[in-house]
Amino acid sequence: MSKYTKEELLSLYNSDLDKLLDLSSKLMTNRIEFCSLVNARNGKCSQNCKYCAQSTYYRTDIEEYPLIDTKEVIKAAKEAKENGATRFAVVTSGKSPDEENFDKILEFIDELNKIDGIKSCASIGILNETQAQTLAKHGLKRFHHNINTSSSYYGDICTTHSFQDRINTCKLVKKYGMELCCGVILGMGESVEQRVEMALELSEIEPDSIPINILMPIPKTPFENYHDKIDDENVLRTLAIFKIANPNSVLRFCGGRMRMSEENQELALKTCVEGIMTGNYLTTTGKTPKEDLKTVQKLNKELILPCEMS
């Protein structure tokens, strides 16, 4: 729970940017953690999230495919480890995993847990209690499930499930002893006040990791023209507020960071952000691990190595 009130965080958000970033930087370590993912099932999602290329509500031009083979998952995980990742996530489209796919996902996790230096992660949708308990029994280290936006704005983003559905899954993850990765997508038309609300709602959840996505407008989705809903300065201000409200959580650059200038990406890594999802994302591209390694070296940051995670 944050020690700051909403009014205090709003005041900080609107304060001098240099002073704001200096305040958040005091909560940073000098270490950077890489993670990576495999898009293990793409498309045909029954939910109507307005930002998403995978929803069946929108006629986007993505490639659709069913759950991939275990060998492909392990190959991707080993490549990620070679590129410096210490965490590797299996990500699937859809509201919730069905029984057949869930059993296969458990097989993925069992095999990932055999790779020294890699911690298993999964992002497979809304869970019921039995599923959460089973994932924990199979040794899943971390589960990813974003709130995406504030509770007050959620109905403008999705109507086929609720903000509370997401909170319930986050609570189950923590109940069964798994780490929680829970973040947001910025630039979907939310107000400054709603960004501060996100920071406080995350502080109530207390995630271990907060992935920060910046909307990449996808053609043929309702948000296809949302290119100007947030600028670099407001991303930086939001990141600082998130770190101040959640000092014990690792803020992690994820999809959409390429919308920021190189200079401001580096500034964020100096003052707010301690993790990077490297490589490509689900339906958008990112930076290569080699590029991210160069940035870490340039900033004199210490990369957490896979050998430390065995």
User: 20: domain CATH number?
Assistant: 3.20.20.70
Q: Within a domain: residue 167?
A: yes
Q: Of 227-231, 272-276, 285-289, where does mean pLDDT reach its minimum?
A: 285-289
Condensed to tens digits (0 to 9), the pLDDT of residues 17-43 reads 999 999 999 999 999 999 999 999 988
Best CA proximity match to 75, nearest among 31, 104, 112: 112
257 φ, ψ (degrees, to nearest 5):
-65, -20
pLDDT higher than 60, residue 280:
no
What is the rounded average pLDDT for all residues in the chain? 93
Mean pLDDT of 142-154: 98
Percentage of the residues of the chain whose pLDDT score is greater than 70: 96
Q: Within a domain: residue 303?
A: no
Q: How high is the pLDDT of residue 285? A: 53
DSSP state of 218: P
Q: Within a domain: residue 60?
A: yes
Domain of residue 131 covers 6-297
Q: Within a domain: residue 309?
A: no
Residue 107 is inside which H or E element, if any?
Answer: helix 99-112
Q: Within a domain: residue 307?
A: no
Condensed to tens digits (0 to 9), the pLDDT of residues 46-93 reads 999 999 999 999 988 888 898 999 999 999 999 999 999 999 999 999
Task: Note the pTM of the prediction, 2 decimals.
Answer: 0.95
Q: How many domains does the chain have?
A: 1
Q: Within a domain: residue 217?
A: yes
Mean pLDDT of 283-294: 77
